[in-house]
Amino acid sequence: MSPRPKVRVPTAAAIIIGNEILSGKIADQNLAVLALVLRKLGVRLEHAVVIPDDLRRIVSEVRAAATAYTWVFTSGGVGPTHDDLTIAGVAKAFRKKVVVHPEMDALIRKTYGERLRDGHLFMARVPKGARLVQTEEVPWPAVLMKNVWVLPGVPEIFKVKMKLVESVIAAASPFFSLSVLSTLDEGNLKPLLDSVVRDHPAVEIGSYPRWTDPHARTKLTFDGGDRASCEAARKAFVASLPEGGFVSEEG
Amino acid sequence: MSPRPKVRVPTAAAIIIGNEILSGKIADQNLAVLALVLRKLGVRLEHAVVIPDDLRRIVSEVRAAATAYTWVFTSGGVGPTHDDLTIAGVAKAFRKKVVVHPEMDALIRKTYGERLRDGHLFMARVPKGARLVQTEEVPWPAVLMKNVWVLPGVPEIFKVKMKLVESVIAAASPFFSLSVLSTLDEGNLKPLLDSVVRDHPAVEIGSYPRWTDPHARTKLTFDGGDRASCEAARKAFVASLPEGGFVSEEG
């Protein structure tokens, strides 16, 4: 039994951009990294797509995803060459112009100094209205246009930007995941869980059989955006367990 | 300069199915494998999507892709458990029933013998009208429904099935790729190439600068479904090169 979630959790889509991935020249590494980060943040990744360096495809995918999901993440196509179309595509998806972001422009000029070339300044271009996200730990910013994160394809840099993603999403939608281990199997737990699920609609309750664990037959999870609600649901469940049914709890 | 292809090459879409990939529990390995095989076959992979184990999503993605691309490849969701929905989804996409394929049923019974369980027979279910593809080298078949290959998610098995894919696609649409290395750069090659491109519309001609090669500045490719046409285009190009412009040829 896995009760269907009663809670609207934040959702996400990933748009991986690059001919080199579709042609097999490079294997994407970023989707798996993003999936893990989102899972930890309690954001459900529901869709991922890999598309060529094609402005029309970028525009249509970004526009559709920005409406359908809480967060959208693009990967790739943000360098200075002719096939780097993501900034233009995201701008067009929101019917905005591409503009030079003054802070980014200043940061680039300061960073490169005398080595500065036009190609470097290309990276200061953002969709009008985009926000730069930066932290003390990661001073080189990520571009966030409404709910769309415009991230680089280079895996090492993509990973660093994940810290910026975490800082914004954890603040926007906190997520708590508590758990309990029980000696009971799902068949015996069902009536107890049904009651807790009914009484705690703001908490997403899951149950997972543990086939190989000699101490506990089932793990129960209590997830949600409000810690007190998750704790109340877990407390009610633990109180309903028969003698010997409780093993331990976490979170 | 990369002349736009003048030739309609076969295209493909990949549909990766599985909650475990979107949740970050497992990193997909099959897309990169498929991309390389298709490149070798001269099939252009134009779209790849990762979706959850959700019947409606499978139906809509398969239906759209089967119309838009020459070939479609699904990966995952073909086991015997409740979240294995791909066969049902592909059948529904074509408005067909799921039926037991007699040959597959016989093969499974013969293979498992006394160890046979209902879960094994589940693998004999196919969309009505589906074809089993098998070779002497790979006797366990792959399911091909019209232009949709229904492939397993397990990377080791997915790789084995690629041999079946190659056997069918190489026969359906042969592909030849010839090349020439030249000492000339793209700027000097442009007038020569323009002329060859114009005179050989059935051949896809590409040019690729080689920044780090001390012997050749550019690689030219002559791709297409007819070997004689590709050879004629290359011959015309080589004949047009000035003294010392030719380095070597391949294919």
Q: List pLDDT tens digits, range A130-150.
A: 999 999 888 889 999 999 999
ipTM over 0.90: no
Per the CB < 8 Å rule, is B31 touching A32? no
User: Does the structure show a pLDDT above 90 at A90?
Assistant: yes
Q: Over 50: is that where the pLDDT of A16 sits? A: yes
% of chain B surpassing 70 pLDDT: 96
SS3 B222: strand
**A82 pLDDT more than 80:** no
Is the pLDDT at B36 greater than 80, yes or no? Answer: yes
- Residues of chain B contacting A206 with CB distance shorter than 8 Å: none
Cβ–Cβ contact A102 with B under 8 A: no
Q: Do A46 and B52 touch (CB under 8 A)?
A: yes
Mark yes or no for CB contact A28/B24 under 8 Å: no
Task: Residue B181: count other Cβ atoms within 10 Å of its Cβ.
Answer: 17
Quick check: A168 pLDDT over 80? yes
A23 and chain B in contact, CB less than 8 A: yes
Chain B neighbors of A49, CB-CB under 8 A: 47-50
B50/A47 touch (CB, cutoff 8 Å), yes or no: yes
Give the C-alpha separation, B3 to B205, whole Å.
Answer: 7
Please answer whether residues A205 and A221 qualify as being in contact, where contact means their C-beta atoms are separated by less than 8 angstroms: yes
Which pLDDT does position A24 carry in this prediction? 86
Cβ distance A47 to B45 less than 8 Å, yes or no, reads no
**B49 and A49 in contact by Cβ < 8 A?**
yes
- Contact with chain A for residue B143, Cβ under 8 A: no
Residue B37's H or E segment, with its range, is helix B30-41
Quick one: pLDDT band at residue A98, thresholds 50, 70, 90? Answer: very high
Q: Do B48 and A46 touch (CB under 8 A)?
A: no
pLDDT of residue B184: 92
B235 and A CB contact within 8 Å: no
What are the C-alpha distances in Å from A130 to residues A127, A137, A147, B188?
A: 6, 21, 10, 42
| Among B22, B36, B38, beta carbon nearest to A48 | B22
Average pLDDT of the residues of chain B? 91
- Can you state the angle between helices B227-240 and B186-199, rounded to 10 degrees? 140
DSSP assignment of B116-182, as one string?
--HHHHGGGEEETT-EEE--SS--S-EEEETTEEEE-SSHHHHHHHHHHHHHHHHHHS--EEEEEEE
Question: Is B46 an interface residue toward A (CB < 8 Å)?
Answer: yes
A35: chain B residues, CB-CB within 8 Å: 21-24
Hey, are the CB atoms on A24 and B39 less than 8 Å from each other?
A: yes
pTM of the entire predicted model: 0.78
The backbone region for A113, taken as left when phi is positive above 0, alpha when psi lies in -120 to 50, beta otherwise, is: left
Does the pLDDT of residue A3 top 80, yes or no? no
Model pLDDT, residue A9? 82
Instruction: Decide if B28 touches A, using CB distance below 8 A.
Output: yes
- Quote the tokens at residue B103: 């040959």
What is the per-residue pLDDT for B40? 86
Residue B75 has what pLDDT? Answer: 97
Q: What is the tens place of the pLDDT at every residue in B61-110?
A: 999 999 999 999 999 998 777 778 999 999 999 999 999 999 999 999 99
- What is the greatest pairwise CA distance in chain B? 74
Decide which of A25 and B56 is more confident. Answer: B56
Query: What is the predicted pLDDT for the residue at A5?
Result: 46
pLDDT for residue A188 = 86
Contact B31 A27 (CB under 8 A): yes
Split at pLDDT 50, 70, 90, the class of A48 is very high
pLDDT in tens, A118-133: 878 888 999 999 999 9
CB proximity B47 to A under 8 Å: yes
pLDDT at res. A213: 86
Residues of chain A contacting B52 with CB distance shorter than 8 Å: 46
- Interface membership of B49 toward A (CB under 8 Å): yes
Judge: B51–A47 Cβ closer than 8 Å, yes or no.
yes
Which string of DSSP letters, residue by residue, matches chain A? --PPP-S---EEEEEEE-HHHHTTSS---HHHHHHHHHHHHT-EEEEEEEE-S-HHHHHHHHHHHHHHSSEEEEES--SSSTT--HHHHHHHHTT--EEE-HHHHHHHHHHHGGG--HHHHGGGEEETT-EEE--SS--S-EEEETTEEEE-SSHHHHHHHHHHHHHHHHHHS--EEEEEEESS-HHHHHHHHHHHHHH-TTSEEEEEE-TT-SS-SEEEEEEES-HHHHHHHHHHHHHHS-TT-EEEEE-
pLDDT at A7: 54
A59 or B209: whose pLDDT is higher?
A59
CA gap B37, A249 in Å, rounded = 48
> What value does the mean pLDDT take over residues B115-128?
88
> Residue A4: which pLDDT band, with cuts at 50, 70 and 90?
very low
pLDDT at B7: 55
Q: Count Cβ–Cβ pairs < 8 Å, chain A vs chain B.
A: 71
The helix (run of H) or strand (run of E) holding residue A185 is none
pLDDT at B3: 45
Quote the pLDDT of residue B215: 92
User: Looking at CA atoms only, how far is residue B146 from chain A in angstroms?
Assistant: 23
| Residue B22 near chain A (CB below 8 Å) | yes
How long is chain A? 251
Dihedral pair phi/psi, residue B77, rounded to 5°: 75, 30
Closest CB to A39 among B14, B24, B39: B24
What pLDDT is stored for residue A6 in this prediction?
Answer: 47
Is B4 part of the contact surface with chain A (CB cutoff 8 Å)?
A: no
pLDDT in tens, A195-239: 999 999 988 888 887 878 899 999 998 988 889 999 999 999 999
Instruction: Report CB contact under 8 Å: B24, A45.
Output: yes
Interface test with B, best of A2, A21, A22 (most B CBs within 10 A): A22
Q: Is B226 exposed, middle or buried (0-12, 13-18, 19+ CB in 10 A)?
A: middle
Burial of residue B239 (number of CB atoms within 10 Å: 0-12, 13-18, 19+) = exposed
Contact at 8 Å (CB) between B160 and B203? no
Q: Which two tokens stand for residue B62?
A: 């398969």
Are the beta carbons of B197 and B205 closer than 8 angstroms?
A: yes
